[in-house]
Amino acid sequence: MQKTVIITGATGTLGSQLLKHHIEKNDIVYAMSRCDHKISQSKYHDKAIWCLGDIRNDLTGVLPPKADIVYHCAALKHVHMGEIYPSQYHDVNYSGTLNVFHHVDCKKFVFFSTDKAVLPINFYGMAKALAEKHLLAIRKLTGRDIRVFRWGNIIGSQGSVVSTFIRQLRSVEPFINVTDKYMTRFWLKIEDVIDYVVSDDSVGEDGLYIHPDIKAAYVLDVVEAIANVLGVSDYKVREIGIRAGEKIHEHIKSDHVACIRSDRAPKYSMDELTELVRPTVIKYLAEHNV
């Protein structure tokens, strides 16, 4: 049955993949972005109903008032920028989320959060945590179908550190800048994220969804995996120190039932990591004519 779907942040990594999924299902898709250039460059430019606007503003005339599903992907995501511009991160990641939620009368509202919302020490995580709490409270009070998906790092997403590592490893004198050599993170590939979001079999806990197969890895092990794909065997590691708002380790969950921290969670093997990063490395090389 054809559905009416709204996707905010539709030109981002997650949004564009959800857009592709629903276009292939012949759903009616309203795709929102605040970047007219990215809209014009989208491969789905003529296959969706594009909505140019900012989630902080009045959405009358921008988004329809009703839909079957809303995927709220739009967000500001860089930790260090949130420490400099906290009001912007609050207005986009918290107030903007509620603005979209209250504008659209929908059967299902899907919000994408982050592991940084767990025991947050940076403003990005704090704003996402506020949005999580507010939406889940509404869900509990009203019984509405509100789903919060909490991720770690998505391999190959826009602005991903993986692209930075590829550029550094391809330098004349290969090097890597890391903030701390013991840093760990949770990692998932975009295909696993999309499959989990759109699956009817995904199971959440009181509206909160965490991918059951998510694993962690040391950032330096991810670097080694990228180097394996590139065929780079010798590179220097520069430890530049942790930045404002960063943690050495992240939590994907922390409550009275369970605490899952990235240095203690199940880890990817090197073979798994190499296969995890391979598509992103190959795509990067192809896009840069290497």
Where residue 216 falls among pLDDT bands split at 50, 70, 90?
very high
| DSSP structure class, residue 91 | I
Range of the domain at 225: 152-187+213-290
Predicted local confidence at residue 82, as pLDDT? 97
Task: Tell me how far apart the alpha carbons of residues 158 and 149 are, in angstroms, rounded to a whole number.
Answer: 18
Answer whether residue 188 shows pLDDT above 90: yes
In a shared domain, residues 169 and 275: yes
Kindly state whether residue 180 falls inside one of the protein's structural domains: yes
Kindly state whether residue 49 falls inside one of the protein's structural domains: yes
Asked whether the beta carbons of 207 and 136 are under 8 A apart, the reply is: yes
Predicted local confidence at residue 219, as pLDDT? 96
Kindly state whether residue 167 falls inside one of the protein's structural domains: yes
CATH number, position 17: 3.40.50.720
Phi (first) and psi of residue 82, to 5 degrees = -65, -30
Kindly state whether residue 202 falls inside one of the protein's structural domains: no
Q: Looking at the DSSP assignment, which residues form a beta bridge with residue 147?
A: 110
For range 78-87, the mean pLDDT: 96
Kindly state whether residue 241 falls inside one of the protein's structural domains: yes
Predicted local confidence at residue 290, as pLDDT? 67
Task: Tell me how far apart the alpha carbons of residues 144 and 229 are, in angstroms, rounded to a whole number.
Answer: 45
Which amino acid is it at 114? T
**Predicted confidence (pLDDT) per residue in 10-31, tens digit:** 999 999 999 999 999 999 999 9
In a shared domain, residues 164 and 282: yes
**Predicted confidence (pLDDT) per residue in 123-182, tens digit:** 999 999 999 999 999 999 999 999 999 999 999 787 778 999 999 999 999 999 999 999
Kindly state whether residue 64 falls inside one of the protein's structural domains: yes
């889940």: which residue's tokens?
136
Global pTM reads 0.95
| DSSP structure class, residue 73 | -
Q: 24, exposed or middle or buried, with CB in 10 Å at 0-12, 13-18, 19+? A: exposed
**How confident is the prediction for the chain on average, in pLDDT?**
95
Phi (first) and psi of residue 239, to 5 degrees = -90, 110
In a shared domain, residues 23 and 112: yes
Of residues 254 and 275, more confidence is placed in 275
For range 206-223, the mean pLDDT: 95
Both structure tokens of 7 = 């996707």
Q: Looking at the DSSP assignment, which residues form a beta bridge with residue 132?
A: none
Quick check: helix, strand or coil at residue 143? Answer: coil
Kindly state whether residue 208 falls inside one of the protein's structural domains: no
In a shared domain, residues 164 and 286: yes
In a shared domain, residues 142 and 158: no
In a shared domain, residues 60 and 176: no
- Count how many domains the chain has: 2
Other CB atoms within a 10 A radius of the CB of residue 246 amount to 17
Kindly state whether residue 194 falls inside one of the protein's structural domains: no
Predicted local confidence at residue 53, as pLDDT? 97
CATH number, position 259: 3.90.25.30
Predicted local confidence at residue 157, as pLDDT? 83
Segments of the chain assigned E as strands? 4-8, 28-33, 49-52, 66-72, 105-114, 145-151, 153-155, 175-178, 184-189, 208-210, 215-218, 236-239, 251-254, 259-261
Q: 58, exposed or middle or buried, with CB in 10 Å at 0-12, 13-18, 19+? A: exposed
**Percent with pLDDT over 90 in the chain:** 89
Q: What's the 3-state SS for 211-258?
A: CCCCEEEEHHHHHHHHHHHHCCCCCEEEECCCCCCCCCCCEEEECCCC
Other CB atoms within a 10 A radius of the CB of residue 11 amount to 25
